[in-house]
Amino acid sequence: MEMEQNTREKTGSTRMCDWVKALPCKIKVKALGIAKKTKKVGKDDPRRIIHSLKVGFALTLVSLFYYVRPLYNVFGESSMWAIFTVVVVFEFSVGATLSKSINRGFATMLAGALGVGVQELASLLGDKGKPIVLGFFVFLLAATSAFARFFPHIKARYDYGVLVFILTFSLVSISGYRAEKIIELALQRLSTILLGGAMCIVISIFVCPVWAGQDLHNLVASNLEKIANFLEGFGGEYFEVSGDEDSGTVPKKDKSFLQAYKSVLNTKTYEESLANFAWWEPCHGSFQFRHPWKQYLKIGALTRKCAYQMDTLSANINSNVQTPPEFKRKIQNSCMKMSSESSKALKTLAMAIKTVTNPSSSSIHIENSKVAIDELKTAMDDALRERFDLLKIVPAITMASILMDIIKSIEEISESIHELSHQACFKDVEKNVSPDKLPQLLHRGIVKPVSDSNGGGDGGDHVIIQVHEKSLDSPENGNPRASKTSSRDDVL
Amino acid sequence: MEMEQNTREKTGSTRMCDWVKALPCKIKVKALGIAKKTKKVGKDDPRRIIHSLKVGFALTLVSLFYYVRPLYNVFGESSMWAIFTVVVVFEFSVGATLSKSINRGFATMLAGALGVGVQELASLLGDKGKPIVLGFFVFLLAATSAFARFFPHIKARYDYGVLVFILTFSLVSISGYRAEKIIELALQRLSTILLGGAMCIVISIFVCPVWAGQDLHNLVASNLEKIANFLEGFGGEYFEVSGDEDSGTVPKKDKSFLQAYKSVLNTKTYEESLANFAWWEPCHGSFQFRHPWKQYLKIGALTRKCAYQMDTLSANINSNVQTPPEFKRKIQNSCMKMSSESSKALKTLAMAIKTVTNPSSSSIHIENSKVAIDELKTAMDDALRERFDLLKIVPAITMASILMDIIKSIEEISESIHELSHQACFKDVEKNVSPDKLPQLLHRGIVKPVSDSNGGGDGGDHVIIQVHEKSLDSPENGNPRASKTSSRDDVL
């Protein structure tokens, strides 16, 4: 019995010993894991590191309200509100910071004035009536504000304002019940809040700014590129053709392009929040104040629709084992052309967004993919004569049919990007292309006169001018609108 | 010249007059619009009204800290922090309120202790060194916290805690630079914050609670019902059969079922936030603390995959005009059966989730839809002999093929719901069904012994016991686990 207990104690102490011995190793592994994650978070978007430094800088700056005697003498304990404002209001993007600062500023003013008013009203009713009146108003406004936050429009744009409103109103009206110098106090708080907010705005705009509008613009373009990459690789993957540079397919081993579209599927919420923040931003870069941000959401929705079709399509990649090779050979050329031309159309559209230029050069690829659809139809007509086993060619037919639907969706995307280019006055690409470059471009696919098309809505009202793609990339197209827009008044 | 000016002035004043006259009308229209919206927001989820009243009540209650002399004498100006806490922490669901309260409580304690420590350390360095040391620590911790908020895991669960941490640390360490009675002040603040937080938690749990977990549970089930409704109506819509009650299709005029799946496409963010809030909630109703909420996200992802396929499929509804009627007739029966049986399977699965019961009765419908797939294949084989124009039947073949893919996805959904039922110990449905009810059920479709199936993974390891569907609906199955789980310890 005793021995058993001894053994138990020994085992216990041995375990304890082992645990203590293993501890440094465990801590090391954990620390390495955190270091790895930290590196990844910073590498994914280096602006995050700069943002963190900006927050640290702003907070240290605002603490001067406490350290510097003359400032402290003016603002006193209210300096706390400046710190508070900086911590809560400083966000990653300029738009988010502006949204919170402006919401906070206006809500504080409105609620402060209302609080003082209610306080005065309650004073008329004597010491017994006062808490009842104040309590009634606090209940009424708190319940109304809480309910207002359920309205989608308010939730999206003024949520923080409503929160600050009810907070300030409660603080002013209730604490006013005790404090005598209420107006002086309210003004002190307001001024520190405005100072803190102004500091955040200035730092976030002038020190390495992160514009939500620019991010939305880039996100929409990069999502288009992702679905373009899927299409670019899809043909080669489906027909098991090893990629070569001419056909634009990527080498077979790297199949990440087949998964990239997946990150497009769930971008709605992120796009909407970026658009909401962008709404607050003054003009910057190529974007004027009141840039048509809503149009980006439309393009985003159409891009997602395309990604949904790809999700359905990707189920077909692996189900083509039983398709008769002769049938595959029949449709291979047209299908590969469909996927590569539609991919090129998307890439041209993405490039047009990135360079803020007119996207008309995408139409040629859309026309080419339509020609490929016609070729596919002819090939299928031929196939009928050879009496393939219908069941065995079902997956291939489905693939081709979804590919046709995708091209229809891409036409819609192209239309909405043309609409954006019209609304946001995208600049035209230089029309005097040197003639020696033209042939290179024209042999890329069958060029069909636009007037022959039955219209994606984007080809009917202008003549296509083929432009060498490099000119879109060139630095002289970088940001010519910046000087034009910077002369406009900032509304803020 | 003068006349012209007169006319202008008159026109101006007339316009002004008109505007003033039209004002009451405009205000009326605006007010009516707001009233309508308010009614809609309240009607969509009446719990919103109750939540607003709860917020009003909590805030009025917390203002007693100011009104009641004995309480004010204890807490003084720190009562402000209780108001602050209630306004910021009180959220719609119990999980969100708990998450914010606990984050706020712990972050305040940790940051307060750290702030006092740094303050003491800085004091050792004399009046000149103090602001430098304090400034250094504020910068360091602010930058680190701002960066930590970019980690996805921290963002999802501790974002508010990090914010409160840096806020409290700055306030305590910087204001400590002036205030002498720092520890007393810190304790006062902490106690009011804890009191405010506790009040929010108590009110949100005991007055008409809104559980994020229950909401996630219902959301997943209702999303399954939405895609089931699409499938239920799809067959009738595609083959233009007017609905009758036996076949389970809905009358043709109401086509909202064809759009309902669209709201499923973008639920990822909402589901994830509900799962994050649910993680904080104690056991309630049928859910234990540490209910497998992650499994709901898996089911949600598979449901969305199904919705993506439906989005691709719905493009096919209107493109079947050119399909030869004879071909349509050939595949009609099997396709309608595929869509109606898969719809029934989804509805049974949704019902199993709703009633927290074992979902085994869905397998029969999945088996039936597999039989329908076989019938479809036979019908297509037949069709080959009649030499239809391949091009004309492409849309119909695509439709059928996507429908087959959807059934595959539903099998995956069924598997993951079985997994959930296993993880969360869903209760078994009563197995002693009265024999006179069985024939009614069995004639619904071809019943295939499960042992013959090549398995969706969910049919192989148990014998199907057919249960009358009404028993799933009956009140005695409402919530029998509530009594079982309520005896478990609440972790919070």
**Please, what sign has the CA dihedral across residues A51, A56, A62, A64?**
negative
- pLDDT over threshold 70, residue B244: no
Q: Which is more confidently placed, A478 or A64? A: A64
Q: Which chain A residues have a beta carbon less than 8 Å from that of B166?
A: 59, 87
B264 near A CB under 8 A: no
A contacts of B146 (beta carbons < 8 Å): 51-52, 55-56, 90
pLDDT band at A433 (very low <50, low <70, confident <90, very high): very low
More confident residue, B312 or B317: B312
Question: What does the DSSP assignment read for B28-64?
Answer: HHHHHHHHHHHHHHHHH-THHHHHHHHHHHHHHHHTH
pLDDT band at B7 (very low <50, low <70, confident <90, very high): low
* The amino acid at A171: L
* pLDDT band per the 50, 70, 90 thresholds, residue B441: very low
**Token representation of residue A373:** 């659809």
Phi, psi of A390 (to 5 degrees): -55, -45
pLDDT of B14 higher than 60: yes
Q: Tell me: pLDDT of A478 over 80.
A: no
Task: For residue B386, count other CB atoms closer than 10 A to its CB.
Answer: 10
Tokens standing for residue B9: 């002035």
Q: Pick the range with the lowest mean pLDDT from A16-30, A62-76, A214-228.
A: A62-76
pLDDT tens, position by position, A374-396: 999 888 878 767 767 777 888 88
Above 90 in pLDDT, residue A286? Answer: no
d(CA B427, CA B41): 36
Pick from B458, B454, B453, B451: nearest CA to B416:
B458
| Weakest mean pLDDT among A36-40, A268-272, B187-191 | B187-191
Task: Please report residues of A whose CB lies closer than 8 A to that of B387.
Answer: 384, 387
pLDDT of B277 > 90? The answer is: yes
Residue B42 reports pLDDT greater than 50: yes
Q: How far from A304 is each of A139, A271, A293, A339, A456, CA to CA, in Å? A: 44, 11, 17, 17, 19
- Report how far apart, in Å, the C-alpha atoms of A69 and of each of A73, A78, A85, A196, B326 are: 6, 14, 21, 18, 92
List the structure tokens of A441. Answer: 């471009």
Query: What per-residue confidence (pLDDT) applies to B480?
Result: 33
Contacts of B71 in chain A (CB under 8 A): none
pLDDT of A178 strictly over 80:
no
Q: At CA B270, angle to CA B268 and CA B272, rounded to 5?
A: 70
A384 closest CB neighbour out of B146, B304, B390: B390
Confirm or reject contact between A131 and chain B (CB < 8 A): yes
Range from A248-252, B395-399, B465-469 carrying the lowest mean pLDDT: B465-469
Euclidean distance between CA atoms B291 and B301, whole angstroms: 18
Q: Which residues of B touch A384 (CB under 8 A)?
A: 387, 389-391
- Range 350-409 of A in CB contact (< 8 A) with B: 377, 380-381, 383-384, 387, 389-391, 394-395, 397-398, 400-402, 405, 408
Given a cut of 50, is residue B481 above it in pLDDT? no
Checking if the pLDDT of B459 tops 70, the result is: no
Q: Which residue has the tokens 């596919």?
A: A376
Give the CA distances from residue B181 to residues A84, A275, B65, B159, B185, in Å, rounded to whole numbers and listed in that order.
21, 47, 21, 30, 6
d(CA B142, CA A223): 33
Which one of A85-99, A109-123, B170-184 scores highest in mean pLDDT? A85-99
Q: What is the pLDDT of residue A323?
A: 81
Residues 6+ apart with CB under 8 A from A231: A310, A339, A340, A342, A343, A346, A406
Which of residues A481 and A13 earns the better pLDDT score? A13
> Does A481 score more than 80 pLDDT?
no
Contact A143 B381 (CB under 8 A): no
Helix (H, G, I), strand (E, B) or coil at A490: coil
CA angle A280, A285, A290 (to 5 degrees): 35
Higher pLDDT, B172 or B12: B172
Given an 8 Å threshold on Cβ–Cβ distance, is B167 in contact with A88? yes
DSSP assignment, residue A287?
Answer: B
In whole angstroms, what is the distance from residue B26 CA to residue B18 CA? 12
Mean pLDDT of A78-106: 92
User: What is the dihedral angle through the alpha carbons of B86, B89, B95, B101, rounded to the nearest 10 degrees?
Assistant: -90
As assigned by CATH, the class of the A212-423 domain is mainly alpha
Those of residues 14-73 in A touching chain B at CB distance below 8 A are: 37-38, 41-42, 45, 48-49, 51-53, 55-57, 59-60, 63, 66-67, 72
> pLDDT per residue over B223-233, tens digit each?
999 999 999 98
- Mean pLDDT of all residues in B86-115: 93
Contact present, B139 and B130 (Cβ < 8 Å): no
B335, B247 contact by CB (below 8 A): no
CB A279 within 8 A of CB A157: yes
CB distance A232 to A257 below 8 Å: yes
For chain A, positions 147-176, list CB contacts with chain B under 8 A: 147, 150-151, 163, 166-167, 170-171, 174-175
Return the pLDDT at B203.
Answer: 94
pLDDT of B474 above 80: no
A177 and chain B in contact, CB less than 8 A: yes
pLDDT above 90 covers a percentage of chain B that reads 45
Beta bridge partners of B284: B287
Is A416 a residue whose pLDDT tops 60?
yes
Alpha carbon distance B190, B104 (integer Å): 10
pLDDT higher than 90, residue B434: no
In this prediction, residues A123-138 reach a mean pLDDT of 86
Per-residue pLDDT, A408: 92
The residue of chain A nearest to residue B398, with distances taken between CA atoms, is: A398
Choose among A150, A163, A397: nearest Cβ to B394.
A397
Name the residue in chain A with its Cα closest to that of B82.
Answer: A171
Choose between A177 and A261: higher pLDDT: A261
Tell me phi and psi for residue A275, to 5 degrees.
-65, -40
